Amino acid sequence: MMEQPTLLVPVDASNPDDLPLELVEVLHPLRVVVLGLYPVPDQTAPEQLRDEYREEATAAMEPTVRTFAERSAAVESVLVFTRDRVQTTDRVANDYDCDAVLVPGAVESLDRVLVSLKDERNMFRVLDVVELVAAAGDPQVTLFHAESVERGSAASELYLRGATDWLTERGVARERISWREPTEETQESDLTDLARDHDLVVMGESDPGIRERVVGELPSRVHDQTDRPVLTVRTERQHD
């Protein structure tokens, strides 16, 4: 079990949006790293922008940092002037040994949480985060088995039952947990359709074997198609 997972929260330091307070309320038990990303045009030297806009960019990140700090979150921040947001996010996530990365989205409440589980390698790390989210409120939790199995198969039921038992043993009410099992052909469309009916999506890395890609294509597509916040939980890293 992760004692206090570390969450990376990327923000646009050139034009930041306010992070919804509903998200902050459920995420503040985590250790938080706010990453300010300031875009650098191709023909501009990063050092030039850094010298000119460092104070402005730092001030732009401050409301997000302060919002977490006011709720007693363990929070720190890092500002990067970059041409490649994805590469920088991946690098900082590795540098700070982050367990999860948030793609912020629109949310008015956190009554329904969709949890996409794929395999046992990352299942309990994802459930650790779900436990923290559920402890901050009392959401309905939908467990989605994102694996190529027949709907209603014994293997899928056993997997989902195990995840349900794990959550109920840690205080999540059984009646607030439901299951969804896609077919192989409808996995991504089912996930996207369900995400539209939920307030937050929690999922594991889509391809944990590719270390340099933290968020990956599937979580990004879910966010882009639904505008829901997506919390991607990383597979545990093996340290040398």
Are the CB atoms for 187 and 146 separated by under 8 Å?
yes
Task: Please say whether the structural domain 112-233 has been given the CATH code 3.40.50.620.
Answer: yes
Is there a shared CATH topology between the 6-98 domain and the 112-233 domain?
yes
- The four Cα atoms 96, 101, 107, 113 give a dihedral, to 10 degrees, of -120
CATH top-level class of 6-98: alpha beta
- Kindly report the number of other CB atoms within 10 A of residue 238's CB atom: 5
How many residues are there in the chain? 240
> In terms of DSSP H, where are the helices of the chain?
21-27, 46-69, 85-95, 120-135, 154-169, 187-196, 217-226
DSSP string, 22-83: HHHHHHTTSEEEEEEEEE--TTS-HHHHHHHHHHHHHHHHHHHHHHHHTTT--EEEEEEEES
Q: Which helix (H) or strand (E) holds 177?
A: strand 177-180
Rounded Cα gap, residues 203 and 233, in angstroms: 6
Q: Is the pTM of this model over 0.75?
A: yes
Per-residue pLDDT, 218: 75
113 exposure class (CB count in 10 Å sphere: 0-12, 13-18, 19+): buried
| pLDDT tens-digit profile, the chain (240 residues) | 677 789 999 999 998 888 888 888 888 888 999 999 999 998 888 888 999 999 999 999 999 999 999 988 899 999 999 999 888 998 999 999 999 999 888 888 889 999 998 867 788 999 999 998 888 878 999 998 876 565 556 777 888 899 999 999 999 999 999 988 766 656 777 888 899 999 999 998 865 444 444 556 777 788 888 889 999 998 876 544
- For the chain, the domains span 6-98, 112-233
